[in-house]
């Protein structure tokens, strides 16, 4: 089962990371000013798992990655850079599988 880890950043804000059951990081959120905002972001990430919630991208260096977006088109989280589009698409599938049932681990 996947898990969301909530951490406090060095400037006192909050960020979540969704990890797969094997511990691999799937996506990392933007920073939030409040812990409640961060928890709201997690809640949104858990339900925004339709195909339309994943924006497939390619970095300037040519590496595939993706953003998970909310229904209002705000970016919820960004993936790592992948070696291929197939690997990126597997990452998206993993978010779809893990996010809805992921537990929340508060590390603040």
Entry pTM = 0.92
What percentage of the chain carries pLDDT values higher than 70? 100
Chain segment 37-76, per-residue pLDDT in tens = 999 999 999 999 999 999 999 999 999 999 999 999 999 9
- Say whether pLDDT at 21 is over 90: no
Eight-class DSSP state of 97: H
76 phi, psi to nearest 5 deg: -90, -45
Tell me the C-alpha distance between 3 and 11, whole Å.
24
- Say whether pLDDT at 1 is over 90: no
Tell me the C-alpha distance between 80 and 88, whole Å.
9
The confidence score (pLDDT) of residue 86 equals: 97
Contact 3, 101 (CB under 8 A): no
């Amino acid at each position: 089962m996947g898990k969301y880890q909530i951490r406090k950043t060095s400037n006192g804000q909050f960020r979540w990371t969704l990890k797969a059951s094997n511990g691999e990081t799937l996506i990392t959120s933007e920073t939030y000013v409040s812990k409640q905002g961060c928890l709201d972001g997690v809640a949104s990430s858990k339900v925004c798992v339709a195909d339309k919630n994943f924006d497939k991208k390619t970095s300037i260096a040519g590496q595939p990655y993706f953003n998970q977006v909310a229904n209002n088109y705000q970016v919820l989280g960004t993936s790592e850079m992948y070696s291929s589009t197939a690997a990126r698409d597997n990452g998206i599938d993993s978010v779809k599988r893990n996010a809805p049932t992921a537990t929340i681990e508060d590390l603040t």
